[in-house]
Structure formats: C-alpha cells, structure tokens
Structure 1
Amino acid sequence: MFTSTSFIQNSGEFNYKIHWSFKGKPFKKITGISMFTHPFQDGYSEDPKFQQAPRCLDEKKIVSVSKSIRSKPEWWVKYKNPEISAKWKSELLAQEVRKEIIDYVLAELEFYDALRERTDGKFQIGPLDSICYGDNVVPEELKAEFKKAAFRLEDVPEGKKDWHPNSNNQVLDLVHPSLYPLQYKITPILPEGGNVGLVGQYTGKDKTSPISEFNPDEHTIKSHFMEYGASDRFQWLPSIFDISKDGKVTIESYINNLHPEWHGDLYGPIGKIFEAAIPGINLTLSQYASPQRVRLDPFSNEYGLYDTPEPEWIDDDYDAYEVARQARHPAPVKIKWEGIPDNQVNFDVKGRKLKVITKLANIVLTPENPDYEGGSWHIEGQINEDIVCTAIYYYDSENITSSELGFRVAVSDPPYEQGDDIGIREVYGIEDEDKMGLEVGGIECIEDRVLVFPNIFQHRVSPFSLADKTKPGHRKILCFFVVDPYNDRVTATDRVPPQQSEWWVEKVSEKESNLTRRLPQELFDQVLEQVEWPMSLKKAKEVRLELMEERKSNLNKIDDYEHPFTREFSLCEH
C-alpha cells in the first residue's frame, strides 16, 4: 500500500502488494444517480447542469467587470475599503459602465469572497463560478521534492523519450493514460473485491477475465449520451486515492505507467499535491452541483422582453404593422443584488475513496522549434471514464511567453417570440446562425498555479512561444482527472494487473527462470511481441494510436447542428 508520505516497508523491502478494501466509510452507491451531469449530449439537451442558460448583455457586462476587479491583487481585502471601492466605481463610470451594473458588481464581491473563504483563502473563482484557481498552494519544499523525482522521467536517452503523436516533438509524455489503457474483451481483470500485487507477486491470472465490450447499462451510471461520447474498446485506468476525513491522501493502487518501485519517490509527492488541490476540487464540485446562478431575468416584465404589448395586426397593411413592431425596444433589465444565494451545495471529497487518473507532460520548445500553436477545444475522456473535474498543477515554466487555458460553454437557446430578431439581438446580443458555444475567457497558466474546473466545459491551451528565441524553454504540468465519486463502475488499477511487459520482465529476470536462461534476449523479446498480455511498449504505442483515432472518429460522428459547442442558433418558427 502506498501512502502520501512514504511507502510502507516490510523487512527492509518495499511491500508491493496492493490490498483493495473499503475500510472506513464507503461510498454511498446510488445506481443511476449523480449530482454531476456529463457533456456527451446533443445540442438540444434540456439538462440544466449541462448547458449554460443564455445570459443577457447586461449580465455579460457584469461578468466581465467582476472578472477584471477580481484579477486585482488582494481584491478580497480592497473591496471592503470604501475609498478603494469608490475609486473603482469612478474609474468604471469613466469607461461608461452603467451605475446599476457597477453597484451590482461591487455588492456581489461578498459572494466571491465567501466562496474563497470556504477554501481558507487558497482558491478563488475564475471566469465562471465552477472554475477556480490557487497560487502557491503547493509548499516550496514539496514542489522541489516532486520536481527532483519527476525529472528522472524525462532524463532518458532521446530514443526513449515518448513524444506525443502528432505533437511536432513538442509534447513529451511522462505519464499518460492513453498508454496501456484498459481494452474491453482483452485486458485481464480481477473480480470485484480482488487485490492486485505488482510484478513478481501477482500470481492469479487464471482468476481474471476480460470485461465484455462496453455496455452503457453495465459500465456507466449516466444516461442520454450521444454515440460520440462512448468507446466500445478503451478506458483510461484510474488509481484509488483514499482521502481521509482530515484530507490526507493514500494512493492505494499503482498509477498506470508509473512503476511504484522505479519511481516510488514520486508517489508520496503526488499524493501530497493532490491534498493541496482538495480545497479547489471541493469548491469546483460544489459549484458544479449547485443550481445555475442566473443573475438577471430579462423576462421579468409583463410583456416578456418588452414593457409594452405587441401592436395589433392591421389587415392588409403589413408595412404599418412592422413599423409599429420595430418601434418597440426591449425594456431595461432590472439589476439588483439579492444577496448570497441560499441554494449552494457543499460537496466534500474528504472521507471518500476516489478514482483518479494521473498525467504528467512537458511542452518543450527549442530555438529550432520555438512556437507552440496551442491545443484544440476538447473535454477530458469519454463516458467510459466519467471524469467530473480536472486539476492541473503548473509546476515549472521557463523562457516562454504568456498563455492561458481558455474555456468554452454550451449555451441553450433563449426564449423568444417567433421572428423576434430585434429582442434577441438587443437583449442577448445573439444573431440568427450564431454559434451557441460561447468562449468565456480563461485563466493564465503561470508557474505555481493550481487550476480546477469541471469536465462540462471545453478547454483549450492558447498558443505561446519562446520568450528568448536563442534559448530553450518549457512548461511542465501534473494533471489529475477525477472520476465521478458516485460511479463505482469505472475499472481502476486495483483490479488490473500491470500490463507493461517491461515491469514483468524485470521481475522474471530477478528470479532467473529457466525460460530467460535458455532464450537469447532477442528471441525472448520476440516472444513478448506476440502476446496480448503483458503488452510490449511497441504494441502499447500501436494501441494508443488506435485509441486516439477512435476518439477523433467519434467526434466526427456528430453533426454540427447537434454538437452542443458548435451548433447554430436558428430564429425559426416554433
């Protein structure tokens, strides 16, 4: 068993056997019920937690102004100072921001301050209420310990470096879940309640059996997802992270692609870094599970968007009717802060066993290859992994320009009267055929920042380059993908014997078996290439390409008119 501070040792040797048990308070297993939705729905989903309600122009202005204030250093102290808040108000008025909007923003800061205090001041809200970030939440000593151990993963001969496919030799995978994933109908799995020992100690392959092909009724608690959201071949493998009631982390099963002996000095720091991220994870999941907060209701008037009734139809005089109709303009939206919402969910991962997928990667730039073009809009994983949130630790940045992680949300159609293009345009800023995937801004990716966000929004890394084109530069990240805590059906490494043939060969060689003594190394390697399990690195990379191609193909299955992030608004007849 691995702990967040050290390995438990047995007679001077590391105890590699991983015991799987639910000690303490187990999950409350609720089949088919979760506080968290998923993003694999069509563009016309009515799930209120998936698509963001459309926000009127006044509310968008509130969000923009609030974000600018909350980007100021120690805003949570300054907003309580009447002189400073008066100065902010004066500056905003000079920028022609309406007084009602300014008053709302300044009053609403108490809500964001309260959310920050829920994390003991370690995390604050970003562009949306469920996106948060914290700076310097990982102690310097822990960071140094982690960096030293992680460096050994990258300090290998060039021929052994694992450059991510199609990344132009810029993204170096150190630990990636697409390598050695679970394969339905192939990967040996222990029955539930079994335990997995590492290489040389696991002796129960005859007790394993592969999982059948992906079946939504058996393998997920979520429903109503589109075809593009599921894989019938692959699943990333999480580890078991046991979170004590006081927030200490014990990693109870091996991290896929991170050997617990060769890189045992990483397990402790990884567990402690996850501990540091827990306040942010709790805040994100609490806000994710809470009802959407729509500040302003444009339909609070008697006549919907308007404060006057529709003009009467004049027989045989359409032009006169149209002139009268277009003379109306939407009524101003009522803007008033109603106080901190009382319907907020308080979700806490402490006292639970979580399934967590771990990833380490570097983006490496050189004078010969100085520009990173950025990523693509995506969410993490598929319904097979049921990831509810992501936590990213930016632990090392050197000689690169500023860059941010941007977010895009799926927005539902606003209510409207048939053909009322004027009201929709003036109130929401939406035109016919506008894309309903709305970019909402991002968070700058700076060293020592931990960023947490729900897996319901698309995200994308913006481009960056070398600051000094004559020297190399890099960005290094540690990522945690947290599986829905209510989902007990995602298979984790506690039930999957390690698939890496290299791990097994090392243990077999230690025992000097008759097979290894009799066969030349080249022939022994050829034997490993011909078996499905354990899997050679060459075969694992072939499987990774198949996984990547399947996920790319799945995304291409959904038409733009159905895709929640790319569909167009259509001002058509109801």
Structure 2
Amino acid sequence: MSEDDDILRRRQLFEEFAQRYEQQQELLFFPKPNWTFPHPFVAWAALHDDREACWGPPARTLAELRMYALSWAIRSKVNWEDKINDKEIMEKWRAEAEKQQESLPRPEKLTRRMIDFVLEELPAYARLVDSETGIQAGPFDAIWFSDRLLSDDLVSALRTEALKLEDVPECLKDWHPRSNGQVLDLVHPSLYPVVYGRTHLRDSALVEAPGPDPKWEPARKPGESPAKGSFSHWISPDSAYYWLAKDSLSENHCWLPSDFSVAASGEVSLVSPYINNLHPRKHAGLYTIIQRVVGSFVPLFERVLSQVNGTDRDLLRHGQDDPAPGSGRIERRRIYAHMTGYPWKYIGTQVPCIWGEHAGEVRWPEEFENTEAMHDAINLLPEAQDVYNQVLERSIVPYSLRGKTIQCIIKLANIHLTPEKSEYPGGSWHVEGMLNERIVASGIYYYDEENISESRLAFRVTTTAPPYHQQNDELCAEIVYGMRRHSQPAQDLGSIVTSAGRALAWPNIYQHRVAPFHLLDNTRHGHRKIMAIFLVDPSLDPIPSATTIPPQQIEWVIYAMEEAHQDPLSHISKLPVELLHLICAELEDVEGSRYISRAMAEAIRLDLMDERKAFAHTREKEFRWSFDMCEH
C-alpha cells in the first residue's frame, strides 16, 4: 500500500468515526422525557427514521464492576465500618485482594490503584451508615438495606397480625396461580385491580385506560397540548415515543395503590380509607402496623431516590469534559483525532482504547497465537483514578418525601416448602408493574423464615451501548465492558442475602431475581415471609388509588350488610335474613355493578398475569437490546 493510499484510508477512518460520533451525540441529546426519576419503560426508545436512543444508565467497565464487588465483599463483613479504622486490618484486606489477583488473566486483574481506591472509598461508605436505623449502602448504587430498620416489637406485631391472614381454612387460602403451590398470597395487588372501563370512581364514573388525554391526568384548557416531555405528552400521538409508551401501558388493568401522608417527622398515616385486599375492620391491627412499616421505609426510599436523582438525572453525558455520571472511579481521557489537512477534533471523554490508538487497525482474535499473546498485545487497560475523588458523595442529590402524599402498593406473600416440594427454583428477571403503575422503587421486608437455606436477591440493569472506540473492535468492547457484537448490554450488579429481619430497597430501573433456595431439613416444613412496598413515582401526578376508587370486593359489601343487620339502630336490621341473602346474591348479577365477586376477581387476575407475561416477553428488547457496534 502506497503512502498516499495509507493517508486516504486513515482519512476515511477518521471521517467515519467523526460522523458516527456526531450521530451518537444527536441521539444522546435528543430530548429525554423530563421526569425526575428513571423508569424501566422509559430507558429505551425508538425514534423516527429507525433511530434508537437509550436513556438507561451508562455501561460500566468490568474493572469498575469488579471494584464494586470488592467493596461489597468488604462491606458485607460484620462491623466493617469499625474495622476500617484499624490500619492492620486494612493492610490485611489489601494483601488478600492483591493475592486474589495473581491467578487471574491480565485483563481481569484489579490493579494496585483500583484496590487502593476501593479501600480509600470505604470511609465515605461508612459516613453514609445511619447509626439509628442501620441503613447503609448495598452492593451497587441506589441499593440500600438495613438489618435493624424495624423494632423488635413491631416485627413481632407484624408476624402476629399477618398470621391471622394465614389462619383460614385450606379452601380459602390463596395460593398464587402457577406457583406450584409454593407461594401463598396474603395481600396481592393482582387481585381486584383497576379494570379500565369497568372499575368505578367514587362519583360512579368509569376509570378509563391511559391515553392521549386520560381523565386522571391534570386538567388542561380546551385545545391546550400537554407540556412537552410530561407524562401526558409522552403518551400522546404527537410524541415520538408514543408507540413505545402505548406498548408499555396496559389498556386493561392497573394495580391499585393507597395514599399515605408523610409528616415532616417522617411519620406516616394512611390517607385512603382502605388498602386493597385488606379489610380495614377485620384487620385494623395490621393497618396500624403497615403504616409504621411504610414510615420506617421512608428514609430507605429517600436514599434510593436521592442516588438515582444524582447518578441518572442526566443519563448520558459522554461528550462532556467530566466523566460520564456514575463512572468517576475509572480514569478517562479527553479523546482527540487528527488527520492531515484537518484540524484537531475533540470527540469525547472515554475509557482509552486497549490498543493504544483511537482509530487504528481493528485487532481480531485470529491474529494471536493464543489468549496469552492477545493479552500481551494490550497496551492500555482501564485504570482507577489516582486518589479517591468523592465520586460516592457526588452521586447523591438529596430528595425528601417529607410533607408529601405518597402512593404505595402493598403486598404480603409467603413461600412455603415441604418435604414433597423441598426446593424453590427461584424467580425470573423482572421489574415491577407496567407504565400504568409508574413504580419508581421497590422495598421488601423479610419478616420471618424457618428451615430454609440462604437466599439472595440478584440485580442487573440494561445500560446504554458502551462508547466503543472504532467500528468492529469487538475485542476491545469485550475486554473493557464484557460485551460482544450483538450481545445484550445487561450488566450484573451483584446480589444481597435476604435473611429474616433485613429491609431492602432499590430503584425499579434495576431488574431483580430471587435466587433458588431449599429446605435445610428435608423432613420438616420451611417458609419465608415478606412484606413488599412498591412506591409510585412521587414526582408525577397521582394515579387512581383507594382514595378515589371504592372497594370492589363484593364480600366486603356482604360483611357490611351483615354487620348492619346486627345493629338494632340500622334499618337493615329489620329485614328478614332470607331477604338479606337475596339482596347480596343479586349484587353479583347487576350489569354495570361496581362490585366484583371472588370468582370474577380470580379470572381477572389470570387475565392480568397473562397480559403482563406477554408484555414481559415482547418488551424484552427494551431490557436487553442488541449491541451491534456497527452503523449502516
């Protein structure tokens, strides 16, 4: 190849890269919906002209994920926050970490700077520990937990009151459909949900499915368009994202939250007259407990929202001088490109290319005799910053729920194992709800367990495409980010043990999965019991709730009528019992009735489950879309 041909080829490479970078920037800065918090169904969108943009969290280098794993391994130790003040222990941890690197391939090793950075960051994590509640950071950003969030008396009361929901005849126990008789629902939002076009508001109007101008969106003047970037605009036909929003919205069902008022002190009180599927008279004691538990979770949720508010508020900033948000642990470099006859062009701040050149030759595995030779050819690998740079503190922008009315969806469920069914196979990767519910964070309290092995909750997240350095450089992307051509950019974020007494909260943009567990003693029964709280996005207008929708359970109506029949001051007490029963029977058959029988509610639940199963399957692309490394 002549010198002129070589210059021409390099010029073409530069032009291709510069053009691709400009196209990426156009997508990265396409107006993102201006919601405060990231939602799993808004993290990915297809724009006009077959262009794609992703507002998911930025991809992390494998090196940074390994740094998180090392940090979490240390912070999982008992009294770690005290031990970090002991220089001898810290040196022991450093030596152990360095020893663990010896047998690893070069690209997988943590360098001395990385290990030092992790150790230097530990005091920052220690300062985040709340001595009163025990709240501290978990395995990854915005995951928080505590092993002493609830007092012993509150936990005891929760166990006692929840046991009353279990203490019913076997024929009345609500084993979750398709759970192999292992999951017992005590309170579940899929039973008696909002059914669009059937469920009534308190003024008897029907609840309509979300659409271009749903009745439960803020009122607008005639002819006025919704604010650009708002939820209403996002689901309106003139939005570039309409088709995705429409696919993410159920046209049939929505879980029904209850409204809770959060005082300045953090104390929580129920605003709604009831919690769906939990009778307020029969279970008044549990109502009091749930309010206290929700109140205890307020500081957990505030920490979750504060960290996603800081890390992901501007989700993509690869073209700025500072490192991409949430990636401040890894050293990045200002990247320039230059060709003869062209000015130097600034093309971003990125992790350096492993080959040491930004637009040089692509290297292929076939070029190398073996893996070791390939690793030896690497000129640059990701490296940690020289010193700790307050990246943890900068990832948090405080957000308070005090003084707000929040909407929470409550769930209580048990997993029961028997000698005949001694193992729980684990769950699937999922996020909670659909776009209708706008769930922004999830919280779980594990209030009881017996005779089961250790169980974990694992997390992963779909990220934006990593900022690869040149087209087709698959080796670089694989070594730096663990992603190959056409792979799905979902990165594992670690896992956490879910032992009894642990409270846990995380953002709903993270997918989660229950790991398998089994009986310790196969001759005895075992169980695990949880209370879950799904937080509706508090930065958006409220969705239909138990405040605006009366109970739909026909059994509750019958119970109220039977109570009234026992009250001598009630006119209903004067009715013959037989007539009372006839009235109750007729309620189920009235066309357009606001009440739903148990049999109908169970049928609706199956429809809801089928709809969401199909949704999860068809929208998997949004959670794990393909990383192509190529422009066409």
1:296 aligns with one of 316, 320, 330: 330
Query: Contact 2:432 / 2:439 at 8 angstroms: preserved in 1?
Result: yes
Distance 1:182 1:330, change over 3 A: farther
Per-residue deviation, residues 184-229 of structure 1 (Å, max 9, x unmatched): 1111103xxxxxxxxxxxxxxxx32112232154356533444442
Per-residue deviation, residues 5-56 of structure 1 (Å, max 9, x unmatched): xxxxxxxxxxxxxxxxxxxxxxxxxxx75311211147567877x5221222
Sequence identity of aligned pairs in percent? 36
Query: Contact 2:442 / 2:534 at 8 angstroms: preserved in 1?
Result: yes
Query: Contact 1:529 / 1:539 at 8 angstroms: preserved in 2?
Result: no
Partner SS for 1:380: coil
1:400 aligns with one of 452, 469, 473: 452
Distance 1:302 1:529, change over 3 A: same
Distance 1:217 1:420, change over 3 A: farther
Partner residue in 2 for 1:147: 159
1:17-28 equivalences in 2 (<5 Å): none
Partner residue in 2 for 1:137: 149
Per-residue deviation, residues 344-393 of structure 1 (Å, max 9, x unmatched): 31011121111111110011111122111111111111111111111100
State the distance in 1 between where 2:100 and 2:476 align. 26
Query: Contact 2:407 / 2:542 at 8 angstroms: preserved in 1?
Result: no
1:89-104 equivalences in 2 (<5 Å): 89-96=94-101, 97-104=110-117
The question of 1:542 aligning with 2:603 is answered: yes
Offset of residue 240 of structure 1: 1.0
Offset of residue 275 of structure 1: 1.8
State the distance in 1 between where 2:358 and 2:560 align. 81
State the distance in 1 between where 2:263 and 2:360 align. 67
Which residue identity does 2:86 align to in structure 1?
N
The question of 1:256 aligning with 2:256 is answered: no
Partner residue in 1 for 2:64: 59
State the distance in 1 between where 2:405 and 2:525 align. 41
1:528 aligns with one of 572, 576, 588: 588
Which residue identity does 1:402 align to in structure 2?
E
Distance 1:86 1:260, change over 3 A: same
2:389 aligns with one of 331, 338, 350: 338
Distance 1:310 1:42, change over 3 A: closer
Unpaired segments of 5 or more residues in structure 2? 1-32, 47-51, 102-109, 218-229, 235-240, 312-324, 338-351, 369-373, 566-571
State the distance in 1 between where 2:89 and 2:612 align. 51
The question of 1:165 aligning with 2:174 is answered: no
State the distance in 2 between where 1:153 and 1:489 align. 29
Give the root-mean-square deviation of aligned CA atoms. 2.7
The question of 1:329 aligning with 2:360 is answered: no
Partner SS for 1:95: helix
Most deviating of 179-188 and 152-161 = 179-188
State the distance in 2 between where 1:527 and 1:208 align. 16
Offset of residue 150 of structure 1: 0.9
Unpaired segments of 5 or more residues in structure 1? 1-31, 191-206
1:409-420 equivalences in 2 (<5 Å): 409-416=461-468, 417-420=470-473
1:305-454 equivalences in 2 (<5 Å): 305=353, 308-309=356-357, 329-336=378-385, 337-340=388-391, 341-342=393-394, 344-416=396-468, 417-454=470-507
Offset of residue 92 of structure 1: 1.3
Which residue identity does 1:293 align to in structure 2?
G
Normalized against structure 1, the TM-score is what? 0.83
Offset of residue 518 of structure 1: 4.5
Offset of residue 312 of structure 1: 7.7
State the distance in 1 between where 2:253 and 2:358 align. 56
Offset of residue 517 of structure 1: 3.8
The question of 1:213 aligning with 2:264 is answered: no
Which residue identity does 2:192 align to in structure 1?
Y
State the distance in 2 between where 1:368 and 1:87 align. 46
Offset of residue 427 of structure 1: 2.2
Which residue identity does 2:198 align to in structure 1?
I
Distance 1:92 1:51, change over 3 A: same
1:480-491 equivalences in 2 (<5 Å): 480-491=533-544
Which residue identity does 1:394 align to in structure 2?
Y
State the distance in 1 between where 2:58 and 2:34 align. 23
Query: Contact 1:301 / 1:307 at 8 angstroms: preserved in 2?
Result: no
Normalized against structure 2, the TM-score is what? 0.76
Query: Contact 1:178 / 1:547 at 8 angstroms: preserved in 2?
Result: yes
Offset of residue 124 of structure 1: 1.5
Partner residue in 1 for 2:91: 86
Which residue identity does 1:155 align to in structure 2?
D
Query: Contact 1:115 / 1:283 at 8 angstroms: preserved in 2?
Result: no
Q: Which has the higher contact order (CA 8 A, sep 6+)?
A: 1
Query: Contact 1:436 / 1:564 at 8 angstroms: preserved in 2?
Result: no
Partner SS for 2:139: coil
